[in-house]
Amino acid sequence: MILTIDIGNSDTVLGIYENNKMVDHWRVSTDQKKTVDEYGILFNNLFSFDNVKTNQIEGIIISSVVPQVVQVLEVTSIQYLNLKPMVVGPGIKTGMNIKMEDPREVGADRIVNAIGGYQRFGGPLIIVDFGTATTFDYISSKGDYEGGAISPGIGVSTDALFNMASKLPRVELKKPDNAIGKNTVEATQSGIFYGFIGQVEKLIKKFQEEIEVNPKIVATGGYSELIGSKTEAIEYIAPFLTLDGLNYLAQINDLKKVSKKWRLQENK
């Protein structure tokens, strides 16, 4: 079994893969204040609840945009799972050409998304990731990462709205019955929901105009089901694309072999 961990600014998503198939997954809040022991207890609780035995895990791979949490989880993995995790970054084989002015600027999650998306859907491909930020990434037919766009995410935008507009109540984020709201709650839901759909559709259209090809369009991330399923601009919804990409990287970097070698050396 391979444990994949994607650490985002808001959420951390974990997945267990066996024979290249996801057999379990969890989503928890990213907490920079958690200690090694607290994360160890969290892991044990999650695994115990779904009858996953820690000695079945043969390797751990992590992608992260929160360096502080990576450091804690590295120690947690060693102390509680007797495994040193592989962290996506320099030195990791990706098989993907990053055609950016400075490839180091691209977040690990975006690269892993691109890898997972290309392996699953081929190219050309546009991936829309609904996370803390809403990101748009273009992968060519050759599998090259060509670039993309970053905009404020749904959660960040709505939190800012409710925090700055004291008279606006917090509302459930869902598709409203009508675009023209008849009360403040309906009007707020309409603005958020259709506003983000409009943003997604416009950016996808601009991408298509610039690349002059007909790419597949894939949505991933926490809000992918809510937004992606309500617009014809999105063709496929793959909520765990990042974890799929991590699992692929685990295979091409021989994670099980590397982990076994490290474990044998440490246990001498």
* Domain layout of the chain by residue ranges: 2-91+254-266, 103-244
Q: Which residues are part of the catalytic machinery? A: 109
What is the enclosing helix (H) or strand (E) of 61?
Answer: strand 59-64
Report, as an integer, the average pLDDT of 15-32. 93
Q: CATH topology for 2-91+254-266?
A: Nucleotidyltransferase; domain 5 (3.30.420)
The closest of 229, 245, 167 to 196, measured between CA atoms, is 229
What is the enclosing helix (H) or strand (E) of 29?
Answer: strand 21-29
Q: Is the pTM of this model over 0.75?
A: yes
Beta carbons within 10 angstroms of residue 170's beta carbon? 12
Residues 6+ apart with CB under 8 A from 46: 14, 26, 28, 52
pLDDT confidence bin for 253, thresholds 50/70/90 = very high
Q: Tell me, what's the pLDDT at 104?
A: 86
Report, as an integer, the average pLDDT of 62-91. 92
The closest of 260, 267, 258 to 92, measured between CA atoms, is 258
Q: CATH topology for 103-244?
A: Nucleotidyltransferase; domain 5 (3.30.420)
Q: Which residue has the higher pLDDT, 81 or 163?
A: 81
The closest of 60, 58, 64, 92 to 77, measured between CA atoms, is 60
